[in-house]
Amino acid sequence: MYSHELFHTLHQLSRQLTNKLNEALKPFGLFNAQWAVIFVLNKRGSLTQKELCDYLFVEAPPMTRTIQRLVKQGYVKQVPGIDKREKHVQLTQEALKLYPEWENAVNKVNQGLLKHFPSASQEELSKLQKSWLHQLL
Amino acid sequence: MYSHELFHTLHQLSRQLTNKLNEALKPFGLFNAQWAVIFVLNKRGSLTQKELCDYLFVEAPPMTRTIQRLVKQGYVKQVPGIDKREKHVQLTQEALKLYPEWENAVNKVNQGLLKHFPSASQEELSKLQKSWLHQLL
DNA sequence: ACAAATTAATTACCTAGGTAACTATATTCC
DNA sequence: GGAATATAGTTACCTAGGTAATTAATTTGT
């Protein structure tokens, strides 16, 4: 019964990566969860909070909090939709200006984390993870 | 640059598994992090909190909290060591009595989570994860 | 032998993410 | 058209895990 070990290793790996990313984002006053939102908004433009939740597979309450912190920092604005329940979230000019710098830092740390992990292994790992995840959902 | 995707999938996978485990533990009034401690204590007997931290790669403060909850529930006791700074943590009779039931529930949910994921893939995934994790530490 | 440095555990405070309950707006269904 | 239902977002409260600072006990170094 080594399923325990599999789960344990996965959990630890996830935590280590999160910690390293947070460390790299610290100089910019950003955290992991905020970066995830910023990254998606930069790629997709304007999204409702529901759409962000669905995309990132996160429940609504933590998303509300993450967005509120980003609003307070001036990196995101909430625009009321035609459907008045919805809030369309988008990056501010300030965030768009700083984005390349952030992405650069993130890419650099990601590259460092993968440096000694062969790209064939990365491919294989990515494939296995996606396959398992899709079965779970 | 699909490192983003690799990290994102890993993070989500970890969260999904944690959620499923928590769901399975709910009837017993236990949570994921508590189970990790109980599992190790059952295997290893008595350990100091420091040893538990090292084994589970968790910082001391969250470990203190997890143990305090287990003490309150009557599943764990803290025995002062010869080195008076240390606290040796061990399962209570109550916990030892209930352990098989808990393990059974956990094994069942783990089995369910891995059901449609071929065991060759499990092996491969486990190998890749461990290899990457050891490079990071 | 005693001052300085180290270590185990705790406390306070932060982010991350989960559920349950609530509010306000939209949609459905007689 | 109006009552019932569903949906988007928020609030309150829980566990999980991180850092920084604190306390008490032990070990080191002179």
- The pLDDT tens digits of the residues spanning B83-115 come to 899 999 999 999 999 999 999 999 999 999 999
Which pair of structure tokens corresponds to residue B94?
A: 């109550």
* Pairing mode, strands A76-80 and A87-91: antiparallel
**Helix (H/G/I), strand (E/B), else coil: A48:** strand
Strand segments, DSSP code E, in B1-137 are 47-48, 76-80, 87-91
Closest to A63 measured CA to CA, from A74, A44, A81, A47? A47
What one-letter code names the amino acid at A54?
Answer: D
| Residue A62 in contact with partner chain B when CB distance is under 8 A | no
Q: Which nucleotide is nearest to A84 (CA to C1')?
A: C25
Q: Which pLDDT score is estimated for A76?
A: 95
Task: Check whether residue B61 has its CB closer than 7 Å to nucleic acid strand C.
Answer: yes
Q: Which pLDDT score is estimated for B2?
A: 73
A99 neighbors A38 (Cβ within 8 angstroms): yes
In chain B, pLDDT over 70 holds for what percent of residues?
Answer: 99
| Residue B6 in contact with partner chain A when CB distance is under 8 A | yes
What one-letter code names the amino acid at A45?
Answer: G
Q: Which pLDDT score is estimated for A36?
A: 95
| Residue A53 in contact with partner chain B when CB distance is under 8 A | no
Strand segments, DSSP code E, in chain A are 47-48, 76-80, 87-91
Q: Is the pLDDT of residue B78 over 90?
A: yes
CA–C1' span, A96 to D16, in Å?
32
pLDDT by residue (tens digit) across B32-71? 999 999 999 999 989 999 999 999 999 999 999 999 999 9
pLDDT by residue (tens digit) across A81-129? 889 999 999 999 999 999 999 999 999 999 999 988 888 889 899 999 9
Contacts of residues A75-78 at CB distance under 8 Å and 24 or more positions apart, as own/partner, are A75/A34, A75/A38, A76/A37, A76/A38, A76/A41
Measured between CB atoms, which of B113, B121, B130 is closest to A9?
Answer: B130
Q: Which pLDDT score is estimated for B12?
A: 93
- A129 and B17 in contact by Cβ < 8 A? no
B39: nearest CA partner in chain A:
A4
A40 neighbors A52 (Cβ within 8 angstroms): yes
Q: Is the pLDDT of residue A1 over 70?
A: no
At A5, the pLDDT band (50, 70, 90 cuts) reads confident
Domains plus CATH for chain A? 17-136 (1.10.10.10)
ipTM over 0.90: no
Q: Is the pLDDT of residue B74 over 90?
A: yes
At B1, the pLDDT band (50, 70, 90 cuts) reads low
Q: Which pLDDT score is estimated for B81?
A: 83
Q: Which pLDDT score is estimated for B114?
A: 92
Cα–Cα dist B93/A131, whole Å: 42
Spell out which residues of A between 55 and 94 contact strand D, using CB within 7 Å.
60-61, 63-65, 67-68, 78, 83, 85-87
Radius of gyration of chain B (CA): 17
Closest to B33 measured CA to CA, from B4, B61, B8? B61
Mention every residue, 6+ apart, whose C-beta is less than 8 A from residue B21. A7, B32, B35, B106, B109, B110
In chain A, pLDDT over 70 holds for what percent of residues?
Answer: 99
Mean pLDDT (chain A, rounded): 92
Which pair of structure tokens corresponds to residue B41?
A: 């204590």
A100 neighbors B118 (Cβ within 8 angstroms): no
| Residue B82 in contact with partner chain A when CB distance is under 8 A | no
CA distance B78 to chain A (A): 25
Q: Which pLDDT score is estimated for B96?
A: 94
Strand partners, B76: B91
Q: Which pLDDT score is estimated for B50?
A: 95
Longest CA span, chain A: 54
CA–C1' span, A81 to D4, in Å?
25
pLDDT by residue (tens digit) across A19-73? 999 999 999 999 999 999 999 999 998 999 999 999 999 999 999 999 999 999 9
